[in-house]
Amino acid sequence: MFDADNIRSGYGEITVLKDISFSVNNEIFAVLGANGSGKTTLLKTLARLLPLQSGKLELQGNDVSTAAPYQMPAAGVAYVPQEGNVFADLSVMENLSIGGRTGNKSKSEKLDEVFALFPRLKERLSQSAGSLSGGEGQMLAVGRALMQEPSVLLLDEPSAGLSPLFVDTLFSSIAETRRERGVAIVLAEQNAVKTLEIADRVMVLSLGEMHLLRKRSELSMSDITEAYHI
Give the pLDDT score at 228: 72
Summarised one tens digit per residue, pLDDT across range 43-54 is: 999 999 999 999
Instruction: Output the pLDDT for position 100.
Output: 81
pLDDT for 50 equals 96
How does residue 83 score in pLDDT terms, banded at 50, 70 and 90? Answer: confident
Among 27-31, 36-40, 210-214, 220-224, the range scoring the smallest mean pLDDT is 220-224
Q: What's the rounded Cα separation, in Å, for the pair 130 and 115?
A: 19
pTM: 0.93
Angle 216-202-188 from CA coordinates, rounded to 5°: 135
pLDDT at 186: 98
| pLDDT at residue 223 in the model | 81
Q: pLDDT digits over 106-125, tens only?
A: 999 999 999 999 999 999 99
For residues 57 and 197, what is the distance between their CA atoms, to the nearest angstrom? 28
pLDDT of residue 163: 86
Burial 162-181 (b: 16+ CB within 10 A, else e): beeebbebbbebbeebbeee
Count the Cβ atoms, other than its own, within 10 Å of residue 70: 8
pLDDT score of 79: 96
DSSP string, 79-145: EE-SSS-S-TTSBHHHHHHHHTTSSSS-HHHHHHHHHHH-HHHHHTTTSBGGGS-HHHHHHHHHHHH
pLDDT band at 230 (very low <50, low <70, confident <90, very high): low
pLDDT (mean) for 142-146 = 94
pLDDT at 18 over 80: yes
Report the pLDDT value the prediction gives residue 161, as an integer from 0 to 100.
Answer: 83
Residues 6+ apart with CB under 8 A from 90: 98, 128, 129
**What does pLDDT average to over the chain?**
92
Q: How confident is the model at residue 178 (pLDDT cuts 50, 70, 90)?
A: very high
Number of folded domains that form the chain: 1
Q: Between 140 and 181, whose confidence is greater? A: 140
For the stretch 182-217, pLDDT in tens is: 899 999 998 888 999 999 999 999 999 998 999 998
Residues spanned by the domain of 171: 2-228
- Give the pLDDT of residue 34: 87
Task: Specify the 3-state DSSP secondary structure of 47.
Answer: coil
The domain spanning residue 145 has which CATH number?
3.40.50.300
Within the chain, how many helices (H) and strands (E) appear? Answer: 9, 10
Q: How confident is the model at residue 146 (pLDDT cuts 50, 70, 90)?
A: very high
